[in-house]
């Protein structure tokens, strides 16, 4: 099999974060592991990427700056974006892993309620993040979404 067929089979991961350093560093780590990477710097871009590209997994920041182009439905919080994904987008089985600079106590209690696969506080531990991604993708493949836990 050639490189093209491996690339076509590679899982697609959307990294949605307003911090360009996080977008770049996480993208490099994921590409080095053979994943196809999409990026979004706003909530609206994340929704557009999900609609257009149907990622296999989403790494989602919780806080985005105000979006002047989207005043009808401001997508400044990751939980709003997750609600939209699961209610409106037709991709309810897409695993989401939260990546946030917020204190874990701020979102840990809400994470299972919004069906996130895992949550990580920045700065990210790449080894643990890659393990959570692998587990979430395996869970998706087995058609049994599971909460893998919250990591700080």
Name the β-bridge partners of 38.
14
Residue-level pLDDT at 125: 95
Residues of the chain with pLDDT under 50: 1-2, 4-5, 7-8, 71-74, 144-152
CA distance 87 to 101: 26
Please report, for the chain, the start and end positions of each structural domain, with discontinuous segments joined by +: 3-141
Give this prediction's pTM.
0.79
Residue-level pLDDT at 108: 64
Identify the CATH number of the domain defined by range 3-141: 3.40.50.2300
Alpha helix ranges (H) inside the chain: 3-9, 20-32, 43-53, 78-87, 104-107, 126-141
Residue-level pLDDT at 149: 45
């Amino acid at each position: 099999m050639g490189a093209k067929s491996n690339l076509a089979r590679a899982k697609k991961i959307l990294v949605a974060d307003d911090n360009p350093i996080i977008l770049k560093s996480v993208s490099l780590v994921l590409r080095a592991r053979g994943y196809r990477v999409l990026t979004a710097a706003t909530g609206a871009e994340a929704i557009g990427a999900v609609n257009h590209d149907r990622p296999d997994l989403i790494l989602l920041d919780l806080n985005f700056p105000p979006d002047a182009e989207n005043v009808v439905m401001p997508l400044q919080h990751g939980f709003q974006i997750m609600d939209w994904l699961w209610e409106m987008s037709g991709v309810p089985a897409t695993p989401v892993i939260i990546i946030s600079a917020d204190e874990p106590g701020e979102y840990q209690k809400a994470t299972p309620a919004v069906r996130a696969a895992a949550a990580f506080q920045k700065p990210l531990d790449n080894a643990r993040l890659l393990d959570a991604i692998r587990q979430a993708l395996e869970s998706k493949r087995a058609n049994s979404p599971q909460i893998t836990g919250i990591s700080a």
